[in-house]
A = this chain, B = another copy of it.
């Protein structure tokens, strides 16, 4: 029984009320869903109903069947992965976008979609301190919204390959290489899989805090040229997933000056948002990004207060995208498109149709204001510094790397008479992490850094405050004690 307008009004109010209830009760819920695989299939009929159902029943089922199966990324004790932003402003922006329902693939099919995206990308570029070369008003560079950093990265790699192949038509695809580091997000490996191209993983060292150095890049290029391989894109990272490492964009950019056909894509999916704060632009290598990056990506939907999806990609030269991706069949031709007076964003990304994503970014930027945005970023970093200070003061925990922005990577490392070997420490920490994973009231994820098993705590939920950091630390201490006991027993059992 499809909803008519008045029924929608009633159902819409109810949905809004339910979302209010959700946020009032959020911190009393377990962070991690406790359901077992298959729980929902058991609870649902095997096929769609023949006759329409009452919408009240459907909304009630959302509460009854779906909410228990959610892991609550907005829970103030969610410290896993990286944060996924969610704000009321973002939700409402998305709601309006859904109601307008335009697949804004070109300017003409719904001008506001393209126009607002072009403006909001410029607002964002200014807010983050990118130079005017990247603004849409430059007419040369420009910005576009993509689904995720993987899509932004893939788009950059595609355009880089296209440019390289145009420059060197006789070089076979099999000889092309994508450069990433061992710390690059999986988007690098995935771009290689998608395009069927070789990916070379460049080394980073612990003593460089896992940042890629210029000298490594130069040495590897030399090696590859000698063996007849052609690097055409390097994906550098500002704020790696594992440890928040920041590649030395200054050094890398300097080296790549000698290799102008290698595209430098800077993936700052998570950390890029910190550029709203002037004091964080230096450590984040913004100056070098402005000087050297061919393309730059950061995600509003991670640490930028905007609901998924809102990955922002800027390029220094928009023709690099459109040369690679422009297809304009007759049924997509328009007067303004033919005249070149408007942006047709379909030629700036891999698909065709696209959501009206700029609306939610516009809502959030206006409601928070630049200053509100900065306040939020700084608060997250302060909370992380607080957490790191607990770790530093503790006899049982140790930092694995220096805290980066709002991410701390640490491990359990109790004081013992003899320092524990790596393997023993890893065993202990796996037990520890296993215990943490079973907790309902906190959620963290693990990683590895050069063979060291470690635990990540990433801060970003809007409602996280000092009390949650304190609670997180208390939980860690409690579970650490238990883990050490369990580990000693395992060791003892092995010796008996």
In the bound complex, do residue B95 and residue A327 qualify as a contact, i.e. CB atoms below 8 Å apart?
no
In the bound complex, do residue B37 and residue A99 qualify as a contact, i.e. CB atoms below 8 Å apart?
no
**How many residues of chain A get a CB closer than 8 Å to chain B's CBs?**
151
Q: A162 interface residue, CB < 8 Å from B?
A: yes
Q: How far is the CB of A21 from chain B (nearest CB, A)?
A: 9
In the bound complex, do residue A101 and residue B84 qualify as a contact, i.e. CB atoms below 8 Å apart?
yes
Q: Report the separation of the CA atoms of residues A241 and B151 in the bound assembly, to the nearest whole angstrom.
A: 26
Please tell me how many copies of the chain the complex holds. Answer: 2
Q: A389 interface residue, CB < 8 Å from B?
A: no
Closest-by-CB residue of B relative to A90 is: B98
Q: Report the separation of the CA atoms of residues A350 and B174 in the bound assembly, to the nearest whole angstrom.
A: 21
Q: Report the separation of the CA atoms of residues A341 and B151 in the bound assembly, to the nearest whole angstrom.
A: 28
Q: Report the separation of the CA atoms of residues A40 and B118 in the bound assembly, to the nearest whole angstrom.
A: 10
Closest-by-CB residue of B relative to A449 is: B330
Q: A448 interface residue, CB < 8 Å from B?
A: yes
Closest A-B pairs by Cβ, 5 of them:
A69-B112, A12-B16, A86-B101, A40-B115, A52-B369
Q: Report the separation of the CA atoms of residues A419 and B2 in the bound assembly, to the nearest whole angstrom.
A: 49
In the bound complex, do residue A71 and residue B351 qualify as a contact, i.e. CB atoms below 8 Å apart?
no
Prevailing SS type, chain A contact patch: helix
Q: How far is the CB of A107 from chain B (nearest CB, A)?
A: 7
Residue A352 contacts which of B161, B187, B330 (CB distance < 8 angstroms)?
B187
Among A89, A111, A122, A162: residue with most chain B CB under 10 A = A111
In the bound complex, do residue B355 and residue A309 qualify as a contact, i.e. CB atoms below 8 Å apart?
yes
Closest-by-CB residue of B relative to A96 is: B62
Stretch at the interface among A3-11, A219-227, A254-262, A380-388: A3-11
Stretch at the interface among A193-201, A244-252, A278-286, A470-478: A193-201
**Given A66-B116, A367-B2, does the pair A71, B148 have CB atoms closer than 8 Å?**
no
Q: A268 interface residue, CB < 8 Å from B?
A: no
Q: A102 interface residue, CB < 8 Å from B?
A: yes
Closest-by-CB residue of B relative to A112 is: B69
CB contacts under 8 Å to B, within A60-117, are 62, 65-71, 73-74, 80-81, 84-92, 94-96, 98-103, 107-113, 115-116
